[in-house]
Structure 1
Amino acid sequence: MKTNLLTNAIPEGKLPAVQNALKYLFNQSDIEDIQLLTGGLSSALVYRITIAGKDYLLRIVMRADEVHDPQRQHICMGLAASANIAPHVYYSNDEDALAITDFVQNKPVREGFASGKDLITALGSTIKAIHELPLFPKLVNFLDGVDTFIQQFKSLHMFPGHVTAEHFSLYAEIQKVYPRYDTDIVSSHNDLNPNNILFDGKKIWVIDWEAAFQNDRYVDLAIVAQTFVHNQEEEFIFLQTYFGEELDEYKKARFFLMQQICRMYYAMIMLKLAAAQKPSDHLHDPDMNQPNMPEFGAMLMSGKILLDTYEGKLQYGKILLNTMLSAMKSERFKDAIDMMRVF
């Protein structure tokens, strides 16, 4: 075994904690291999480590605060693992801010199901299982959090005000009527993007519980739908899988509005990250004439644009805003707003 692999890969300040975890689990700190994994936007460091011929996942939280709270993450991850939703947890330490779990050898999730209907049915069932877990710890009211992100974006003055004026004007209609303080809350992952939904060839696994806390049930539904639900027929199948016979027009309307809230949420995050990554001699391009979401997804898949670059984050933020604006100009948006006013 190569005794220097950990030393070369793990930040010096985290090395003793990792060595202690390995000694506790395996009675040794030597490993056969270690590989830093990339692909998400989390500040955590995630590694695949190999010991005695078996792969494990090592996750180290590098910035511990109220939002990136290791204890909350580990509680949520542990509850999900106990229900066979998240990979098995072998070790977690809140003080050291690290965990070791099973490693899932990911395969293309779309190829694992006979049809798109089967996939969205499986995803709807997975979300329902998450929401049936014992209630996760609290963190923040989701819409209040999105409001904070909006104010932070506006303070950056990335674009002239008229560029996003219509977006925020229509979004204000949601802010007025959406039941943000509804007491019907559930255990929620809150970041079910494709990087966090793995498929091992037999079943779906959900990883990265950094953003998990008790929340509005429509958040997870809206985030998954952004990637996997593409038309009204698929939306009906997806929501019926989750709600069953309780699905009604109110739930459809609330789901539609939450889709726009989540688009705003991710747009504000992407644009804020882009601003932090902007070259010092560069001006933000305010042009909102961008590819649509499917076209952008194809660009990402082909490698023509990378989401970890300034340009990728800026473009994705704009496309999310455009997608949201288009939806908010529809008759369905007006009907959904009216529906919220009635209830």
Structure 2
Amino acid sequence: MLDTDDGLERFGEMLRRLHAGPAFPVFMDGLQMIHGGVGALRGARFPIPELIETFLTRFEAVQAALRPHLTLAPCHNDLNPNNLLFDGARLWLIDWETACMGEPFLDLTTAMLWFDFPPAREELLLRAYWGAEPTAWQRARLELMRQVSRCFYAVVFLLLALQNGQQPPATLPRREELPSWSETRRALGTGTLAAQGVEYRFQLSLILARDGLEAMEQPEFARALQLLEMALPPG
């Protein structure tokens, strides 16, 4: 459904209605959930791969720049393809287990992460969501919030891989051996992570950390970081 312009526009409009709708219960924001997950890993003395440690260190600047700009809205918090259905007439979101008051930009970047839209499709989604061209401030927030989505799932996949006393694979792939997130998403298709083994979850965590580090090396990230560090949230 989201491979058509009409479907993607409907998805953007649906997210706008969700984020403007009645309040949900308050839980934790994305940054707090990441902090809790990393704390659980360190508290249990789980070995965190060097690539992910490097990403977490670089991620501290993202957190510091974003915190003054965070807002709360009713959010789904798990916008992946398996939670979006189309009955031939309308779109439906399912699996509301993690829904709470959250950061609406994180819902957007989580959807963009999991659906892996090409740039032109992302632009169509964002214009449908805001009803206008995104502002420089909105684009900067999105750029940094992409890192929150990557970091959140990198930590979640590592926690899932290490549950029940599991240990990391004896040999982890080197950074240059990892496929990109886009290649990984295409290979996964509509399959579920539950069908994958422990080593696959480790690899997903590494892939997201590697993609996050590469994004942080781009000029778009540096500009977004500087803008949010210097700007006050819009009145």
Under a length normalisation based on structure 1, what TM-score does the superposition of the two structures give?
0.60
The Cα offsets for residues 27-54 of structure 1, whole Å up to 9 and x where unpaired, read as xxxxxxxxxxxxxxxxxxxxxxxxxxxx
User: By how many angstroms is 1:141 displaced?
Assistant: 2.8
Tell me how far apart the structure 2 counterparts of residues 191 and 237 of structure 1 sit (CA, whole Å). 21
1:41-88 C-alpha deviation (Å, 9 max, x unpaired): xxxxxxxxxxxxxxxxxxxxxxxxxxxxxxxxxxxxxxxxxxxxxxxx
2:94 alignment partner in structure 1:
207
* 3-state DSSP of counterpart to 1:237: helix
Structure 1 residue matching 2:131: 3-state secondary structure = helix
Aligned to 2:33: 145
Aligned 1:156-235 pairs, distance under 5 A: 156-159=46-49, 161=50, 163-179=51-67, 182=70, 184-235=71-122
Q: How does 1:1-343 map to 2 (within 5 A)?
A: 109-110=1-2, 115=4, 117-154=5-42, 155-159=45-49, 161=50, 163-179=51-67, 182=70, 184-245=71-132, 247-276=134-163, 283=170, 285=172, 287-288=174-175, 289-301=177-189, 307-343=195-231
Unaligned runs of 5+ in 1: 1-108
For 1:101-152, what per-residue CA distance to the aligned partner results, in whole angstroms no more than 9, with x for missing partners? xxxxxxxx35xx5x3x333222211111211211111011321221222233
Shift of the 249–300 alpha-carbon distance from structure 1 to 2, 3 Å rule, reads same
Question: 1:169 offset after TM fit, Å?
Answer: 2.8
Secondary structure of 1:187's match?
Answer: strand
Taking structure 2 as the reference length, the TM-score comes to 0.85
CA–CA separation in structure 2 for the residues paired with 1:281 and 1:233: 38
Q: Does the 8 Å CA contact 2:168/2:202 hold for their aligned counterparts?
A: no
**Larger RCO, structures 1/2 (Cα 8 Å, 6+ apart):** 2
Ranges in structure 2 where 5+ consecutive residues have no aligned partner: none
Percent of aligned pairs with the same residue? 26
How many residues are aligned here?
Answer: 227
Q: Which has the larger radius of gyration?
A: 1
Residues in 2 aligned to 1:126 and 1:273: alpha-carbon distance in whole angstroms: 30
Distance 1:298 1:236 in 2: 20
- Distance verdict in 2 for CA 1:142–1:171, change over 3 Å: same
Which of the pair is proportionally richer in strand? 1
Correspondence for 1:36: none
